[in-house]
Amino acid sequence: MPTKRASGELAAGEVILELKGVYKLYRTSDRHALSNVSLTLRRGEFVSIMGPSGSGKTTLLGLVAGYDDPSAGEVAVMGQAMHELGDRQRSLLRAHDLGVVTQSYNLLARLTVEENVLVRLGPVGIRGKEAQRRAAEALDAVDLPRALWQRYPEEISGGEQQRVAFARALVAEPSLILADEPTGNLDTVTGTRLLDLLRRLNIERQTAVLMVTHDNYAATYGHRTVHMRDGAIESDISAAGVAL
């Protein structure tokens, strides 16, 4: 399982995510969704990914989350090669180390807003009052009004669902947050608050962030911006404008 130190802390500069020569060809397609993608993320790094629709951004995040496997190449999270892990071990790795906000939020329809966040804590052994305290803290952090906490996902707006998905992604204090268009459905004020929250987690907890965005302003929150085109990395540029 994840090679964490006894303290649960990772050393500074430690590699959180490594993709080496990753290709992805979907069975139903004759064109690679990803083509020779290599990328390294260290502890405390915040990387934005930009690129046209269909350039492979969501595919990339899905491979990192272990939802799917590359056709070739290797994905390692917390030093652990994903292809060596079975479904149960991947779930454990996700529960302990990853916070994922997908484009479609994936909230559980039969659970309330609060329960959707709470279920994320069971797999890491946090239950009862402590779980409730943490869930409340996460929902407050994303500015979701308490009046909505006992509602079901279909009873709240898309932007509110997006914030619940965000709370669920951060509640277990992951080492790496994967966020696919996390502000896509939000007004500017709410979107900026969530970006500020990501930045705060990144600075205070050294949480690594891999964020897909179409928004130039959102991308400036990253230390680096990776531009993708046709499944390949076109450029990888630091915030200071230095090509990496």
Ligand X SMILES: Nc1ncnc2c1ncn2[C@@H]1O[C@H](COP(=O)(O)OP(=O)(O)OP(=O)(O)O)[C@@H](O)[C@H]1O
Interface residues with ligand X (CB under 6 A) are 26, 28-29, 33, 51, 53-59
- 59 near Mg ion (CB under 5 A): no
- For the residues of 118-133, what is the DSSP string, one character each? HTTTGGGT--HHHHHH
- Binding partner at 54 among Mg ion, ligand X, none, C-beta below 5 to 8 Å by kind: ligand X
What is the C-alpha to C-alpha distance for residues 145 and 117, in angstroms, rounded to an integer? 14
- Least Cβ distance, residue 243 to Mg ion (angstroms): 25
Q: What is the DSSP letter of 209?
A: E
Give ∠ CA 138-172-59 in degrees, rounded to 5.
Answer: 100
- By rule CB under 5 A, what count of residues binds Mg ion? 2
- Least Cβ distance, residue 60 to ligand X (angstroms): 7
- DSSP β-bridge partners for residue 178: 100, 210
Residue 58 or 183 with smaller CB distance to Mg ion: 58
- Least Cβ distance, residue 44 to Mg ion (angstroms): 25
Residue of this chain nearest to Mg ion (CB atom) = 58
Residue of 35, 48, 55, 58 that binds Mg ion (CB under 5 A): 58
Tokens of 208: 């690594």
Tokens of 190: 């709410």
Give ∠ CA 14-15-20 in degrees, rounded to 5.
Answer: 160
- Least Cβ distance, residue 61 to Mg ion (angstroms): 8
- 162 near Mg ion (CB under 5 A): no
